[in-house]
Amino acid sequence: MDMTDITALLAGIGVGHYDGYAPTGASLPYVVNRPLLIDTVETAINGGAVGWDYQFSLYCCAGSVNASFNLAVAAISALQGQRSGDSTLAASMGYSGAQVEGHYESQVTVQINQGGI
């Protein structure tokens, strides 16, 4: 189970989807997938994370508050209950409509649950 497995499940929502960070010049709307850290103290010399949680954070970026919210709802619908490797995904809204660098984003948290539901 890795980050790209989750990102691949977003293909059906019809917008750009990226691991880590969107490329320079990416046009809205898009979704960015990043893992959440277990402990911000546990980092390598370069500042990179050493330990990871079993959660991912999707940032649903769009041109308006409503558009980012709707994109988050579409991401949740695409991921909720999906199987990824030996895990089942659970998705929930973290926040909606935050203004970030000239666009708006809503955050979706994806929890990795081992086994089936």
Listed range (11-15, 16-20, 34-38, 93-97) with the worst mean pLDDT: 34-38
- What CATH number has the domain bearing residue 107? 3.30.2000.10
**Calpha distance 14→60 (Å, rounded):** 13
Residues 6+ positions from 106 with CB-CB distance below 8 Å:
59, 60, 68, 69, 71, 72, 93, 94, 95, 96, 97, 98
Report the domain count for the chain. Answer: 1
3 three-state secondary structure: helix
* Residue 53 · residue 36 · CB < 8 Å: yes
Question: What six digits make up the tokens of 13?
Answer: 């929502």
Tell me how crowded residue 46 is: count the other CB atoms within 10 A of its CB: 5
Domain region containing 26: 3-114
- pLDDT tens digits, one per residue of 30-67: 999 988 765 556 655 655 655 555 788 999 999 999 99
User: Does pTM top 0.85 for this prediction?
Assistant: no
| Highest-pLDDT range among 10-14, 70-74, 83-87 | 70-74
